[in-house]
Amino acid sequence: MCQLLGMNCNVPTDIVFSFTGFAMRGGHTDTHHDGWGIAFFEGAGVRHFVDHQAAIASPVAELIKRYPIKSTNVIAHIRKATQGRVALENCHPFVRELWGRYWVFAHNGDLKQFAPTLDGAFRPVGSTDSELAFCYLLQQLRRRFGDSRPPLADLRAALAELVAEIAVHGTFNMMLSSGEELFAHCSTQLFYLVRQHPFVTAELSDEDVSVDFSQVTTPNDRVAIIVTQPLTTNERWTAFAPGELKLFVDGVPQAAPAD
């Protein structure tokens, strides 16, 4: 199984602290050594870094830890291959364009007997169940909503149906963002927290590093971090319920739609 890390904030924020702890799991404190990747939105643009080397051995991961790229939406992934060989084209996150926006997707889990019919609009380049699920998601969204992006509530409702349909085939913890929002779906395991005023000092669980966020933030900053395993030892992480699809906007988990 792989591990996921997502960030959604109201002001561009660097992910150096969280990524430092997360990347340790890519071959050091954990066995996720079959590649890694991270995508940062900057406006509508995306910086996309993938590597089939273990995150702890990767010069590109080293760059990310040192270079504070500021972003309001980030999705990162460290891979332990279950389906698809160790190769660059199988590293998450994946990026495709829909409705004139880039969409970024990463998945943790394993899908069985998942062979949806693709119409050719989005086709996997690699051989993972994950990229196949991403292509299917985008295809179905485009089929349902045509050529223009629907209101967020409609998008959320459609995604809830689609992820439930895919999750029937196995474990489907996933994150999806177009740079304006971040969707996170939990099949089995996902946690989140919101950092906001008053900020505290956070201590990484995977490395002896701490940061006093009150020194590097303003009182208006709000940052949601979503991750497979809590990253810090002294903050309160909230577990997702199995089957839950959460939507984060500006660092705030949005209330579930009324039934």
Catalytic choice (2, 9, 91, 186): 2
Q: How many residues bind a copy of itself (CB under 8 A)?
A: 38
66-85 residues in contact with a copy of itself (CB under 8 A) are: 66-67
The CA distance from 63 to 77, in Å, is 16
Using rule CB under 8 A, residue 63 touches a copy of itself: yes
Minimum CB–partner distance for residue 221 and a copy of itself (Å)? 22
Backbone angle region of 120, left / alpha / beta, with phi > 0 → left and psi within -120 to 50 → alpha:
left
Regarding 105 and contact with a copy of itself (CB under 8 A), the answer is: no
Of 95, 92, 43, residue with least CA distance to 69: 43
Of the candidate spans 72-80, 90-98, 181-189, 215-223, the one that interacts with a copy of itself by CB under 8 A turns out to be 90-98
Residue number with CB closer to a copy of itself (49 or 240): 49
Give me the least distance between CB of 189 and a copy of itself, in Å please.
28
Nearer to a copy of itself, 87 or 152 (CB): 87
Q: Using the rule CB under 8 A, is 143 a contact of a copy of itself? A: no
Residue from 48, 170, 180, 203 touching a copy of itself (CB under 8 A): that is 48
Which residue of 4, 24, 38, 46 would you call a contact of a copy of itself, by CB under 8 A?
A: 46
The one segment of 16-24, 93-101, 104-112, 231-239 that binds a copy of itself by CB under 8 A: 93-101
Q: Is 97 in the site for a copy of itself (CB under 8 A)?
A: yes
Two structure tokens written together for 94 = 């994946």
Binding-site member from 147, 151, 236, 241 for a copy of itself (CB under 8 A): 147
Is residue 60 close enough to count as binding a copy of itself by CB under 8 A?
A: yes
Confirm if 112 and 170 have CB atoms less than 8 A apart.
Answer: yes
SS3 string, the chain, reads CCEEEEEEEEEEEECHHHHHHHHHCECCCCECCCCEEEEEEECCEEEEEEECCCHHHCHHHHHHHHCCCEEEEEEEEECCCCCCCCCHHHCCCEEEEECCEEEEEEEECCECCCCCCCCCCCCCCCCCHHHHHHHHHHHHHHHHHCCCCCCHHHHHHHHHHHHHHHHCCECCEEEEECCCCEEEECCCCCEEEEEECCCCEEEECCCCCEEEHHHCCCCCCEEEEEECCCCECCCCCEECCCCCEEEEECCEECCCCCC
**135 catalytically annotated:** no
In whole angstroms, the minimum distance from the beta carbon of 253 to a copy of itself comes to 27
Is residue 164 involved in binding a copy of itself (CB under 8 A)? Answer: no
Q: Which residues bind a copy of itself (CB under 8 A)?
A: 42-52, 59-60, 63, 66-67, 87-91, 95-97, 99-102, 120-126, 142, 146-147
Question: Hey, which residues are catalytic here?
Answer: 2
